[in-house]
Amino acid sequence: MTKSTIEGRRKAPFVVPDRHEIRTDPTRACVILSLVADALLAAGLRKTYRATVALDGVDLRVGAGELVGLLGPNGAGKSTLTKIACGLVRPTAGKVTVLGHPAGSTAARARTGYLAELFRFPGWASADEVLELHQRLARSGGGAEERTELLALVGLAEAARRRVEAMSKGMQQRLGIAQALVGAPSLVLLDEPTSALDPAGRRTVRELLEGLRGRGVAVLLNSHLLSEVELVCDRVVIVDGGRTIAEGAPHELAAAGGVEIETAAGLKRFPDAGREQVPTLVARLVGHGEEIYGVRVVTGTLEDAYLRLVGKDAR
Ligand SMILES: Nc1ncnc2c1ncn2[C@@H]1O[C@H](COP(=O)(O)OP(=O)(O)OP(=O)(O)O)[C@@H](O)[C@H]1O
Ligand SMILES: [Mg+2]
């Protein structure tokens, strides 16, 4: 992929400049600001639809180049938050900025890429035509080079001329992701981008997301695929009933699973113990004449933590 400049979505091919390039070119002041300001900042966000409270005072921050997973049960408010962030829905109260600009403003939209959860492209359009249309909408000057890069990035290099109606669901989802990256956005909002993808497709998207992070692009990823979120996200925010109920790095949220010690008399489990208690536990067992053959600190998964926090019952 070629390295080039970014000037919002107007002329930008896919890649943001490196930090040295930015420092040595004072005309890129807006880009420096973009890298300093939070990619997305929501404060006290509230949205009601008549009697339904979709968001009930959510605070959320996505730093520049940060990959944040937005989790929560069906109806928690994830898509509503995402739609507000890209200016499609107006909040009832609260404030949202994208790189310092009010969400929905021209400046904010120019820096935002969005993949809706239930999107539909015209069936008669080819993959290349869909991207061309979005280049026009985003005023991207990336041309054929950008389209080719993006299709290759999502594994659709061979499908540029294939019509949407002749694509599988997963191929359409890949095209949707490519569409969200048109115009080199600094913030990408992906609402369940991998729900239709096969394992290889999910890995492709995971690598793509890591690539974006490496280039300073911030991503807010709505997903129910907790194992994937755990693999790729720097931080996760869990919402439920329109409120944030937990937030942190996946490994911080993952529930501790206790300590298992293998002794001559068999496996002994200490479900409430953590890593820091291992020396004491081992010393105590040895003091009681036990022979120790192995010690394992059992770590939980993000799924364990999620189910503990939101409850296991389907609603
Ligand atoms: N346009 C709308 N009109 C009325 N109610 C809405 C509208 N959009 C969303 N809601 C309601 O707001 C709440 C939050 O919906 P939202 O789509 O944000 O949830 P979600 O977390 O994205 O759920 P899912 O995981 O199912 O995609 C739900 O109770 C939903 O029914
Ligand atoms: Mg949703």
Say which CATH number the domain at 94 has: 3.40.50.300
Inside any domain, residue 314: no
Number of domains in the chain: 2
By the 8 A CB rule, do 292 and 285 touch?
yes
Residues 25 and 50 in one domain: yes
Domain annotation covers residue 2: no
Query: Which whole number is the average pLDDT over 221-241?
Result: 94
Please tell me whether residues 160 and 202 are part of one structural domain.
Answer: yes
Least confident segment among 6-10, 24-28, 196-200: 6-10
pLDDT value, residue 22: 43
Give the closest ligand to the alpha carbon of residue 71: 1
pLDDT-derived band at 255, boundaries 50, 70, 90: low
| Beta sheet of 292-299, edge-to-edge order | 266-270, 256-263, 292-299
Which of these three, 229, 252, 275, is where a domain ends? 252
- Please give the mean pLDDT across all residues of the chain: 87
For 29-87, how does the pLDDT look when each residue is reduced to its tens digit (9 = 90+)?
A: 545 554 568 999 999 999 999 999 999 999 999 999 999 999 999 999 999 999 999 99
Q: Which ligand is nearest to the CA of 54?
A: 1
User: Do 122 and 212 have their domain in common?
Assistant: yes
Residue 74 CA to ligand 2 center (angstroms) comes to 7
Please check whether residues 165 and 291 belong to one and the same domain.
Answer: no
Residue 297, pLDDT score = 85
72 in ligand 1 pocket by Cβ < 6 Å?
yes
* Structural domain for 207, as ranges: 19-252
Q: Average pLDDT for residues 93-116, to the nearest whole number?
A: 95
Looking at the structure, tell me whether residues 63 and 208 fall in a common domain.
yes
Per-residue pLDDT, 6: 33
Is the per-residue pLDDT at 119 higher than 60? yes
112-117: average pLDDT: 96
State residue 157's pLDDT score.
Answer: 96
Residues 233 and 292 grouped into a single domain:
no
With a cut of 60, say whether residue 23 has pLDDT above it. Answer: no
* Domain-located, residue 1: no
Both tokens of 199, joined, read 């394992």
Is residue 304 pLDDT above 60, yes or no? Answer: yes
Check pLDDT > 80 for residue 256: no
Residue 15 has pLDDT above 50, yes or no: no
Nearest to 226 by CA among 117, 310, 297: 310
Closest CA to 55 of 77, 40, 38: 77
What was the pLDDT predicted at 4?
A: 36
Give the mean model confidence (pLDDT) for residues 127-140: 96
**Residue 218 and residue 63 in contact, taking contact as beta carbons nearer than 8 Å:** yes
**Mapped to the 3 state alphabet, what secondary structure does the chain carry?**
CCCCCCECECCCCCCCCCHHHHHCCHHHHHHHHHHHCCCEEEEEEEEEECCEEEEEEEEEEECCCCEEEEECCCCCCHHHHHHHHCCCCCCCEEEEEECCEECCCHHHHHCEEEECCCCCCCCCCEHHHHHHHHHHHHCCCCHHHHHHHHHHHCCCHHHCCCEHHHCCHHHHHHHHHHHHCCCCCCEEEEECCCCCCCHHHHHHHHHHHHHHHHCCCEEEEECCCHHHHHHHCCEEEEEECCEEEEEECHHHHCCEEEEEEEECCEEEEECCCCHHHHHHHHHHHHHCCCCEEEEEEEECCHHHHHHHHHCCCCC
CA gap 94, 51 in Å, rounded: 18
**Nearest atom of ligand 1 to the alpha carbon of 72:** 21
| pLDDT, mean of residues 286-290 | 95
| Residues 192 and 238 reside in one and the same domain | yes
Would you call 153 exposed, middle or buried from its count of C-beta atoms within 10 A (0-12, 13-18, 19+)? Answer: buried
What is the arithmetic mean of pLDDT over 240-263? Answer: 88
Would you say residue 12 lies in a domain?
no
Q: What is the pLDDT of residue 269?
A: 92
For a ligand 1 pocket test, name from 56, 58, 74, 194 the mutation site with the most ligand atoms within 8 angstroms of its C-beta.
74
Q: Cβ(131) to ligand 1 under 6 A?
A: no
pLDDT of residue 262: 95
Residue 1 scores a pLDDT above 70:
no
Cα–Cα dist 114/103, whole Å: 13
The residue with greater pLDDT, 81 or 272, is: 81
Q: Within this chain, do residues 245 and 267 fall inside the same structural domain, yes or no?
A: no
Q: What pLDDT, on the 0 to 100 scale, is given for residue 36?
A: 65
Residue 83 lies in a domain: yes
